[in-house]
Structure 1
Amino acid sequence: MKRTHRSTFKCWAFGLMILLMCAGSAGAMTISMTGLPSKAEVLGQVSFDVILDTGPGLTGVTLLSVGVLFADAQLGYRQDLSTTSSAILQGPGAKSAYMRPSPTCGGTPGLPGCSLWVGSTNQVNVDFISTDLIGGTDYPSDSPELLATLVFDVISVGDGFAEIELTLKAPGNVIGLAGGATWTSDLIGGGGVAVPEPTTALLVAAGLVGLGFSRRRA
């Protein structure tokens, strides 16, 4: 009898564990990079969107900072062309708490996008702060939400592949919840962009641009 009860308990516990694991995975937060091209030419540009999906039921977010790391020898960040959403996780109620971009991330039409992390040449932090830093957000995302669109100039071939990736482990990165707890997220997309050797036409164009610049200086 004891063996039967023990076996039944083990089966029940194992089943509960699997159920919890599935539930946690189905409701996991994701931050993704979308629209990144597979290839780009020198003198061209690459851009992509950073998208948030909190999953169902997650509220109480107070801080959100996700890093974008890039190969700065091959890519030059264009803060002036990049943009940030003015509000995310905003519910229907006029008084509901939501998240807005930090002062380093613009968020207002006409203002530049997120700045480089202080002292860094290869890290952009996409930062949002809740309008209620005590209780955090009142609503989860009911669909994926745009955080920011980042734009880069392709300035060099380098080794032929310019790396770009999302991170939550770089300086300043955090997902903070009410009460001081922290959260994590699955990061999707990124990797990098192939940068082939410039074609003859591009080399001629670059030479003409350089010649024009020299004449202006002269």
Structure 2
Amino acid sequence: MNSKPGTLYGIGVGPGDPELIPLKAVRILGSVDTVFAASSSKNTYSLAVSIAENHIPGTTPIIKLPFPMTKDKNETQKAWENNALAIIEHLKQGKNAAFITLGDPTTYSTYGYILKNIQRLAPEMPIETIPGITSYQACSARLNTPLVEGEESLLITSGVKGGDHFRQMKTKPENIVFLKAYRNAGDISLALEEADYIENSVGVCSCGLPEEEIIRDVRQFKTRDPGYWTIILGKKNNPFAG
């Protein structure tokens, strides 16, 4: 065993367009000994790998760690720990490794759980986190519209519980972004309509990918299922460009 452990780099590869990967991430991907990425326990596909693969040398092993899509907290925690231990074993051998994830590694990211488990199980391991461009930043850029201005507020929230969180807010933000919107897009659009945000709301599906779609009327989500990579953005006062 190497006396000096390797370093883990948590890398955000951006929202989908391979040209939006940070330069620092490209440099590190070209030098690490191993690249880790998350995949479903049902298949080995990884969008993060498909985005970053042109920046990963062909001789660098890419290890896809399985994460179950389940609500069972015990099963989920076991997967976090097992995958963290797999990375720790590489680091103990003195190998530098990267864990790649979509968007930014500190925002609703699989990497966040890996990071916390490694810090708990092996706090001596050196870790460096490389920020990435988030999906909502890419969406606002794609729409040529500022996300937030001046003294306005901005709320970035999960859409896992639909529009309930937004409904319960006594003071609503001038700007809101729903990530993970795909399963509850209909209820999110209803909540935006109830709060009179609907005319200034936009849905973006698969931003930066070949199948990208912009939905100008999010009321469509009441009767159609959006794609998995769907974000809904709403503004209280100002419409989105276009």
TM-score (normalizing by structure 2): 0.28
TM, length-normalised to structure 1: 0.30
Tell me: higher relative CO, structure 1 or 2? Use CA pairs within 8 A at least 6 residues apart: 1
- Decide which structure has greater strand share: 1
